[in-house]
Structure 1
Amino acid sequence: CLILDESGPKRNPYSWNEKANVLYIHQPVNVGFSYAEHGESVSITEDAAVDIAAFISILFDSEHFEHLNLTSPGRRLHMTGESYGGRYTPLFASAVLDHNAIRVQGGHEPITVASVMLGNGLVDWSALMSGFYDIQCTTAPGVIPTTPVSTCVRMKQALPRCLKGLQGMCIDVFDKIGCIAAYSFCQAEMMAPYSSAGRNRYDVTKPCERTEDDSSCYGKQMHFIRYLSLNSTQEELGVDPAVRGPFQSCSRTESVAFHESADYFRVSYDYVASLLERGVRVLAYNGAYDFVCNWPGTQRCSSIIILSWSGTSAYRATELQEWEVDGQPAGQWRSANGLAFATIYGAGHMAPFDKPKESLALLQRWLEGGAF
């Protein structure tokens, strides 16, 4: 469904459940309508992954889903996440695979993780930092840059120091204090000029629109927040009375916790490489207009992934080429040995919202295992 105004949900012909059974998980615990009976919380993705693996295992064995035959041969689990999901999803998929050993010992069928899809995902800040220059100072997003030339020159001069600090303090050896300092420098030089100009961090072609309900730049389009805040909606969804009230699309409490634990600065590409080695296909797709998780940075991240993956040579031999929907250019893509990267023209940070038809076509082609 789509909730585009105050009149409530309407059928969305481009919803992803047109092509698959879709399960949305509010996580980590205490996000959305999720809660812990005894006040438990998590502040690092590794702990959240343990919860997800346990939940998926319980779900697949639940009598409530017997009609779906989730553990029967041929059933495939595709795990997808957006934005910080670039950190979450590779670890969650890895945890599900590792949990299979416990399932087999208990007499249960292993769960087949067929693929991971990362939408405008944060996998590695250093790759995105270099992309901030491209997205502000070149025609990479498909529009003429508006960032002042003097600012672009300063960014280009600051970028080597930024990348050196992140590599030395966040990747080669993780030094929490040093890593935060390195990130702060990068943020000031590569991100702050754009943010201070009041521009939309999720779409370089639009102004930032915030509302009382939502501080994101998609604020005026977030009618679903008010809908999910209705008592009648929460009653119908079976939301526990203990957590009923105004719905939040993002939890500030959990966000602070993940920042303070330094989870926010960790990279996930080693998990992606390990998934590829185990036959799990990986798709990283980006809306071309996104600033914060920009497509040049994501493509660079795919180049980092291949450094520790046996499919390196085949992927390096590929080049970006256009893909189409109904005869019209929809984006660019490259793929080899299970790793694919794709862009969606005209989409921002939330690509399926911005370009629903093209995003559904991308999903369908990915699930079918064919070329874009």
Structure 2
Amino acid sequence: MSPRDTFFGYWETLCTTNPGVEKPVFNQTRCDLIASNMPRCMEVSAVCVQNPDPALCSAALSVCYEGVVGLYEDESGKGGRNRFDITAPCEIDDMCYIQAVHVEQYLNTPAVWNALSPPKQISEYKMVSEAVIDAFAKSSDGMTSTSDLVAFLLANQVHFLAYQGNLDLACNTAGNLRWAHSLVWKGQAEFASKPLRPWRSPVAATGRNETVGTMKEVRVRVGNADTESRFALVTVDGAGHLLPQDRPDVALDMMVRWITGAPFA
């Protein structure tokens, strides 16, 4: 939701045991380097957010990448670190998961390809489009926040759920919690005042109802609306970016509760 907040969350994710790891991923030397570079990253990324000019945002991204993000990213990829799960190895290319190859293979089978009927200009399905990545890199979209869009949804009674695998670095819990606290809307003060609470879910492996993560949420009536807007942040332990793949039973329970309006705790 906010690259700037995600960058800020790198230190907590890599330099503490808060994600649910036995020891921090980075040593003290690297953590000190991130901490020293973080203020400058925050300064220039704030300029980008306030003035979303592609040139300014590109410069901000360079500062944050070189000083913070790149310390991990430059060691990611096949055989290296995994940005989607700080405890797992990266199996293949930048996507890290062999399942990505399986998805490509499935969508490129003749029967599926014909059923989807893509434009003739497209010759095969790929998990990643370099053209799209380049287009984002040349714009400010990759560095600006979606806060205004989320606030608009909440003002129009569209519920919003942010869910997190606590082992994810690419969209880390620390950063998204920081973003959720800073989101300007009627429910901001109430949400920020609430502590994270544990939530429980039936775990398939044990057959027991266990604590699986933390959560907090608010339900707020905005303006003259007839219904309340629901805003929640839910975390899941032992899961990374691909939460439904890592913990499918918990992910299903989480989504059923959200869709039906049931509370998490």
Structure 2 spans left out of the alignment, 5+ residues? 203-208, 220-229
Question: Does structure 2 retain, via aligned residues, the 8 Å contact 1:287–1:295?
Answer: yes
Q: What is the aligned partner in structure 1 of residue 187 from structure 2? A: 311
Give the equivalent residue in structure 1 for 2:89: 207
CA distance in 2, matches of 1:230, 1:245: 12
Is the 1:231–1:244 Cα contact (8 Å) retained in structure 2? no
Counterpart of 2:27 (choices 148, 171, 190) is: 148
Q: How does 1:85-100 map to 2 (within 5 A)?
A: none
Partner of residue 225 from structure 1, selected from 104, 127, 146: 104
Identify the residue that residue 290 of structure 1 maps to in structure 2: 168
Q: Equivalents in 1 of 2:218, 2:33: separation in Å?
A: 37
Match of 2:218 in 1: 336
**Deviation sequence 1:208-232 (CA, Å, 0-9, x none):** 1115xxx411135531211111113
SS at match of 2:179: helix
Q: 57, 65, 69: which one pairs with 1:179? A: 57
- C-alpha separation in 1, matches of 2:127 and 2:6: 24
Structure 2 match to 1:320: 196
2:37 counterpart residue number:
158
Contact 1:228–1:234 (CA<8 Å) still a contact in 2?
yes
Q: SS state of the match for residue 120, structure 2?
A: helix
CA distance in 1, matches of 2:124, 2:51: 41
**Structure 1 residues 260 and 219 mapped into 2: Cα distance closer, same or farther (>3 Å)?**
farther
Q: 1:238 to 1:166 in 2, by over 3 A?
A: closer
Query: How many aligned residue pairs are there?
Result: 243
Residues 359-370 of structure 1 aligned to structure 2 (within 5 Å)? 359-370=251-262
Cα deviation code 1:135-187 (max 9, x no counterpart): 1101121102131210101111111111011112x122223222211211111
2:129 to 251, 267, 273: 251
Deviation of 1:290 after TM superposition, in Å, equals: 0.6
Q: Residue 3 of structure 1 aligns with which residue? A: none
> Residues of 2 paired with 1:240 and 1:273: CA distance?
35
Higher mean C-alpha displacement, 286-295 vs 174-183: 174-183
Contact preservation (8 Å) 2:53, 2:140: no
Partner Cα separation in structure 2 for residue 240 and residue 205 of structure 1: 37
Asked if the contact 1:234/1:244 (under 8 Å) is kept, the reply is no
Q: Deviations over 1:31-58 (max 9, x none)?
A: xxxxxxxxxxxxxxxxxxxxxxxxxxxx
2:247 to 348, 351, 355: 355
Give the letter for the 1:361 counterpart: D
How far the C-alpha of 1:288 sits from its partner, in A, is: 0.8
What TM-score results when the alignment is normalised by the length of structure 1? 0.62
The 8 Å contact of residues 84 and 170 in structure 2, kept in 1 or not, is answered as: yes
What's the offset of the Cα at 1:279? Answer: 1.4
Q: Specify the alignment match of 2:46 in structure 1.
A: 167
Please give the secondary structure, in 1, of the residue aligned with 2:233.
strand
